[in-house]
Structure 1
């Protein structure tokens, strides 16, 4: 969307201590400071914190520099916050971080179990594929396992409103049930697995009543789910953050995998455990060893043979010998002084990390902080000593890998603005200045990808799951037209690119684009593809099984249907897991806070927050709370509330809903200091992690909630970006023509005219219209510059009853006459302009009132609403909400 890739707020040139600098000065400072820190304090005194929003080529070079040439494994990624437990679970069970199945399996399955995954909002394309398959095959069953009745429940036959962290008990209970009811694939278990007996014994520790107590579910619910799973051979279990973001996340993953291994439902069409990722290139980062406890190409840092293999391939003298600090540990290392130089790339840990205030304090105190980012001002960038302007996604060339192991080319469609550069280039330039030029002589992303592919196939011969050796030495022209492909793609089969474009053996490098006639014909100049000498030899050596330029024939795109796991014994390992119940609530913090994301915003809103369209749906922090909990704590709908834990407090708008499980709350993690006062939700979370994966427990935080005693509420629209808002609660969101702002005040005695002037950034001579009813606590102020509205402020003793969408539209409307101006002060449109209501469909800006009107007029299906209003016909993420509105309209009409 163009609104997220404009140049407003972009970091367009390097900066050192806030002043503009040239690239040479900035890169020299980064390289010399890191080198000096390593020389004085050792390699573990420096660290990189990277991101699943990097392209694979960026990720590869960052990992190579830190683990291969700095000699430390202190490189971790924000994927640690979303996918680490899946990685750990896969490695325990399969011996490798392998996702066995494909997206196609979601359409072939007879039963889909969605665990802790709100696909409707977080993976809307997958959700639509499942919904479409369900329409074609009505017998398909869908079970949703989630404490909340999310929008994904719209297509679910069964919703299991599980207790926080009850997943281990649910799936160990399922394994015991399968054993008790002879629903096992004993042939598969015998031929392809080990450890089944121990796993079944551990799973049998709880009877059905015990499982019900641990999960918060009824015994009848459990029996229905277990019976459905046992009876359905083609079952896919899809899981995401609700499983991974837990102090027992790895055990949850293995409890799920155990059930699929026990029934042989893995690697077959329509069957398997399926982890879906939380970022565009989380999988690509995993492939290159982006986490602190991994090596490139799915090799293990703990394995001396793997370390030696990578060392020889990279021709590196100092490969890291042990795992580095995982994300939470890393920032603790920054805080206690172990890490003295930190480079953060494409992420915003001041907002996204647990115990975020402590993370911010650590970064502020760090002697040297480098941040590569696209924006000049984020909550993290503001603390950087050196700011490096990175290319945005529309300006970069490279590859990404999705959840089904499919690698796709991302091609730039915008030129690089200002002095921005791709991340891979920045990393390579720093590496050269640190003295590693020969190993980082890459001139193009194609060169980086070719080396990455060559390493994956190097000395592999089927021993490792990740192998794209068929693409080793790919030239720039073939890379440019690269079609999406799934791995494994080992080096055997038909050529990937036309004759005349095959890479050749070339000593220290490969000539990646030789002429069809001779190398020096001149009509097709060769470009260098720098990789290690050893990689160059292997690329042209068919006897090594790594013949470059060939693609696989007949390779399955699924893994493990017939065993062949990547453990030492080539068998899958059942993991013996006992269900435990962890109670974190206390009398002072009696509710469980569950954090997550919403439909139209992404991570910390650094880009989606720039979009008026994406901010229409939900424009301020909110917390979902069950009606009974709200009543107990004296909270009414739309009240401002204070949520607190021992680590701090945030403010949010209360959304009272029976969709939320009693005893639990849900709040989104997107809001930052750029968009709200006290909205940084992850300041509340403790740095509690899974002991195996190191992933933080962001779904189970003991918290307290109370009503904020607001004496006045406000809503404003303003042309200028509001600065330094003098209110204890505010939340600003983009709208067409400016900003919309929600406000709450602890005292009612405010100079409202002065506040409005400050909020709007008004000159003293600006023309203003105002209405004040001090006794009723009602105040309305509008300011104009000629015919144009500069800003409008509405104040009331309760939540302000003004159409937000209509008020925002006035910033782009001419107001020549007094009647139009007084209408703004009155806070309502005329009868000829009905209020669209809160936005439901962001793609086409369709409001709830429009959908209600269309439903009342006879549009009784989502498709009919789409035909009439276009709502739900683009990304489809609002279709479940549209269906809920139609249903509510039917119920109201029946009453």
Structure 2
């Protein structure tokens, strides 16, 4: 069929980039940035540009699967049987135990129409507020901050403010990795206007810090003290806008009394920075013509997340830096439609149209519109509370959609116990390979990116039309359609003979009903429709009926959506994190993002080339910390918190301060035995209910695991992952990843104290295809050492080393180079497994530094040795010319190479 192009949006972060999907009406063939979309103007990051590679059908849920009893396997079902069974169980549970005995846990990756269908299902039909979203884990503190400081959950800025600001403060966000398209925009603005000041506040020196004029490496969790210290200096130096404060705010007197005690000396000590740094930061904030703040999980994922958000917004109110170009508090959303979820009421304490579930008037308004007698008044359960009640047996039926709590929630042992104990778990999901899928009694296949129609709202309040390019594979269906179908079946049991609340046939009908609930509200969407977006392009709310364009900025007139129209200063003292360093747990664990992976890797984990930059979970420690623990880079350690233990490799990283540790948040049990969130804590902010995922007390203990295994196998990587991961459960340490670009392969690294039973190795070899055929093998049972290599058409296609793995890097290089020479055969027959000489001893230099253009670190270093500068590398190798995410790392390589030369001269 002819090649076609469909304009849609990216399904990753909250930047909301426009994409052009290339397809033949049956398969997605490629993706590129949409030059007409105002969020990205044609640019894409390494994740967005590889979306077409993440559609591996081997990882997809393709038809309903039903388990008829705990302990039994799921069997293929049909939609009618599956949904009738679910409706029967939900109806019986509600009849016997009440509506609050069931719950819904949904996702910031759903479309707005999906969200609305779920909200109406839970609140109008079931009669429960037990509906929460995984946005609780990322943005709920920002919601509280905006609402109590400004009156509504409404980010007031636009992306163009990044280019217009004179002083940009980035707090708790490695923007270069988490929101790379916006970071590129900021980089370009800085290059055009070098006088622009950029402040980065982060305990770690990330790639984002490379752009900073000032990096405040504060101690984790001390943000509130820092912001109060800045305000103390703003007031002392009279760097405030007294006219704005008098005309448009309230509450400064109480805040002044509080911050009077936050002297520079005290704040510097609390935060672990110098007084000079604090003064410099305050001066730039207070004297710059425009001041913009950007923040993400480092502020939100905290037991003081709400206080941190409001303390930051206080700085904008004190300086009048809101409601004008280049100024304002601007949260960076973590998921593609977490904003749409907030708008539709998809947190347990919210209702559609920025209403509150605790507000009787708001409940009555929505009930009247929906045509039901009333909405539930009982407070709904937030994510942490919800899973606690699942575990205790109070929640007896749980519907999960488009999210992976068995990877993403903190305190994974408790969460998995809850899922295991729940009598009935429904998982509505596009990928059957997620950690949560193992706990599902009913798996419902959902359509994924490029296969469904609806809308999303990005970080700047811009609504885009998500368009369908191809049909979903197998029997997968759009999320809203699954929800509506289930709701229609359930209402026959709960509201027999009454008109249906769910007479929807298209996603546009859902949007058109929902938008009327926003009429007259701060987010008025009454003038928007799918058709209008197609005509005018993506639009920012508010967009009331009769409007001809969206609203770039809010609060230009200084009037806020509070009872009296004034913004509120919020006075809350600094409170330390729940788990401070102590003798038993002397390290503070911070979690964060990798450049090329996203969330729990359900999607990015299907694309081998996205593992090219980082291919295993590694704990980053300061060199002094490694020395103190007598560790070398690459050693395995037991990493313990008060909740659990995982075994992980360590690396030396001077971007992390002594006493701290960093571990990427993406690795779940599928790729790393136990998963990172086995360690993290469920303590949450009392207002936002957002957990403190960023701050956990941990300790290191050495492990002695002399028996090691390394395996590599080409082919159907998802199938290999599915069959080999359970076999690896017997090992103490297990790390799996993908590798390769043209020939994707699965990599396994495992270790144990003693050698496993021979039957286990044989089972692994069978899955690797290393039992029969063109296989070279050497076994030394006495020393529990064995090595096998499969060679087809003159090149390696599978490897297994057992006992010790000294040759793994050399063999991986041979596989990458597509050769199997005589040297390999000689090595294979030798009793030792070390590679011959020092040939190819490491693959570190071959990691992919530029994923967009497939340029390795080795190639870049070779170019630097030839005298190429950054522009020369871009011209010759193409690196850094697409998304630009690799540029900070390339710059560091250039500096590292230049330093010895400078020393000699």
Contact 1:115 1:144 in 2 (8 A): yes
> Which secondary structure state, in structure 2, belongs to the residue aligned with residue 715 of structure 1?
strand
Match of 1:686 in 2: 681
Residue in structure 1 matching 2:542, options 485, 488, 492: 488
Aligned positions of 1:662-677 closer than 5 A: 662-677=658-673
Q: Hey, what's the Cα distance between the residues in 2 that align with 1:574 and 1:220?
A: 26
The answer to whether the Cα contact below 8 Å between 2:525 and 2:541 also exists between their aligned partners in 1 is: yes
Q: CA distance change for structure 1 residues 55 and 155 in 2, over 3 Å: closer, same or farther?
A: same
Q: Is the Cα–Cα contact under 8 Å of residues 613 and 843 in structure 1 kept in the other structure? A: no
Equivalence for 1:187: 243
- Secondary structure (helix, strand or coil) at the match of 1:602 reads coil
Alignment partner of 1:743 is 2:739:
no
With 586-595 and 784-793 compared, the bigger mean Cα shift is at 784-793
Q: Which moved more, 1:431-440 or 1:868-877?
A: 431-440
Q: 2:878 aligns with which of 870, 873, 879?
A: 870
Partner of 1:449: 511
Residue in 2 that maps onto 1:406: 462
Q: Which residue of 2 aligns with 1:526?
A: none
Matches within 5 A, 1:168-567: 168-435=224-491, 438-457=500-519, 460=520, 464-471=521-528, 474=529, 478=532, 481=535, 483-492=537-546, 551-552=547-548, 556-567=551-562
1:732-771, aligned counterparts within 5 Å?
Answer: 732-736=736-740, 737-747=743-753, 755=761, 758-759=764-765, 761=767, 762=769, 764-770=771-777
Note the C-alpha offset of 1:770.
4.5
Query: Residue 48 of structure 2 aligns with which residue?
Result: none
Tell me by how many angstroms 1:88 deviates: 0.6
CA distance in 2, matches of 1:239, 1:645: 27
Could you say which residue in structure 2 is the equivalent of 1:509? none
Q: Which residue of 2 aligns with 1:599?
A: 595
Shift of residue 482, structure 1, vs aligned partner: 6.1
* Aligned with 1:13 (options 63, 76, 87): 63
In the aligned structure 2, how far is the partner of 1:859 from the partner of 1:772?
48
Contact 1:203–1:577 (8 Å) recurs in 2:
no
In the alignment, what sits opposite 1:45? 101
Moved more, 75-84 or 322-331: 322-331
Moved more, 424-433 or 867-876: 867-876
**Which shifted more, 383-392 or 868-877?**
868-877
Q: 1:882 aligns with which of 885, 890, 895?
A: 890
The one of 576, 590, 595 aligned to 2:586: 590
- Corresponding residue to 2:899 among 885, 891, 894: 891
2:363–2:374 CA contact under 8 A, matched in 1: no
1:518 counterpart residue number: none
Matched, 1:111 2:167: yes
Q: Structure 2 residue aligned with 1:789, among 789, 796, 813?
A: 796
**Is 1:705 aligned to 2:700, yes or no?**
yes
Does 739-748 or 351-360 show the bigger shift? 739-748
Cα offset, 1:740, TM superposition: 4.0
Looking at structure 2, the residues matched to 701 and 831 of structure 1 have their Cα atoms a distance apart, in angstroms, of 42
**Change in CA separation of 1:832 and 1:175 when aligned onto 2, cut-off 3 Å:** closer
* Distance in 1 between residues matched to 2:749 and 2:865, nearest whole Å: 34
Could you say if the C-alpha distance between residues 43 and 776 of structure 1 is closer, same or farther in structure 2, counting changes exceeding 3 Å? closer
User: 1:261 is paired with a residue of what secondary structure?
Assistant: helix
Distance of aligned partners of 1:692 and 1:477 in 2 relative to their CA distance in 1, 3 Å threshold: closer
Residues 1:718 and 2:722 aligned together: no
Kindly state the Cα deviation for residue 10 of structure 1 after the two structures are TM-superposed: 1.2
- 2: distance between equivalents of 1:751 and 1:786? 32
Structure 2: 5+ residue stretches without partners: 1-50, 68-73, 715-719
Deviations 1:615-660 (A, max 9, x none): 1111111111111112112221111121111211112221111100
1:269 to 1:850, Cα distance in 2 relative to 1, 3 A: same
Given that residues 802 and 828 in structure 1 are in contact (C-alpha distance below 8 angstroms), is that contact kept between their aligned partners in structure 2? no
CA shift in 2, pair 1:45/1:749, >3 Å: closer
Distance 2:837 2:798 in 1: 16
Q: Which residue of the other structure, out of 717, 728, 733, is the alignment partner of 1:729?
A: 733
Please report how far the alpha carbon of residue 579 of structure 1 lies from its aligned counterpart in structure 2 after TM superposition: 1.9
More displaced 10-residue stretch of structure 1: 821-830 or 611-620: 821-830
Structure 1 distance, partners of 2:86, 2:801, is: 49
Of residues 716-725 and 481-490 in structure 1, the stretch that sits farther from structure 2 once superposed is 716-725
- Cα distance in 2, alignment partners of residues 287 and 891 from structure 1: 52
SS class of match (1:858): coil
Q: Distance in 2 between matches of 1:340 and 1:775?
A: 53
Give the whole-Å Cα distance in 2 for the aligned partners of 1:407 and 1:229.
31
5+ long unaligned stretches in structure 1: 493-550
1:850 alignment partner, one of 859, 865, 868: 859
For residues 668-719 of structure 1, the C-alpha deviation after alignment (integer angstroms, 9 at most, x for no partner) is 12112222223x1111122100011000001110111123223244433123
Equivalents in 1 of 2:114, 2:889: separation in Å?
Answer: 38
Counterpart of 1:8 in 2: which secondary structure? helix
RMSD: 2.6
| TM-score normalised according to structure 2 size | 0.87
CA distance in 2, matches of 1:807, 1:753: 29
Q: What are the equivalent positions in structure 2 for 1:2-81 lying under 5 Å apart?
A: 2-17=52-67, 18-81=74-137
Is the partner of 2:647 in helix, strand or coil?
A: strand
Q: CA deviation at 1:355?
A: 1.0
Structure-2 change in CA distance of 1:750 and 1:131 (3 Å): same
Aligned to 1:529: none
8 Å Cα contact 1:589-1:704 kept in structure 2: yes
Equivalent residue number for residue 839 of structure 1: 848
| 1:765-821 CA-partner distances (Å, limit 9, x unpaired) | 3443346799999865313356553422346868766158634436xx475x75675
Shift in alpha-carbon separation, 1:804–1:84, aligned structure 2, 3 A: farther
| Alignment-derived partner of residue 576 in structure 1 | 571
| Structure 1 residues 194 and 208, CA gap change in structure 2 (3 angstroms) | same
Alignment partners' CA distance in 1, 2:838 and 2:649: 29
CA contact (8 A) 1:639 1:799 kept: no
CA contact (8 A) 1:711 1:745 kept: yes
Relative distance call for 1:235 and 1:760 in structure 2 (3 A) is farther
CA distance in 2, matches of 1:772, 1:828: 18
Shift in Å at residue 252 of structure 1? Answer: 0.2
Query: Residues 882, 44 of structure 1: CA spacing in aligned structure 2 closer, same or farther, 3 A cutoff?
Result: same
Deviation per residue, 1:10-59 (Å, 9 max, x gap): 11111111111111111111222212211221111111000001011101
1:580 to partner: Cα distance: 3.0
How much has 1:873 moved relative to structure 2? Answer: 1.8
Are the counterparts in 2 of residues 805 and 838 from structure 1 also a CA contact under 8 Å?
A: no
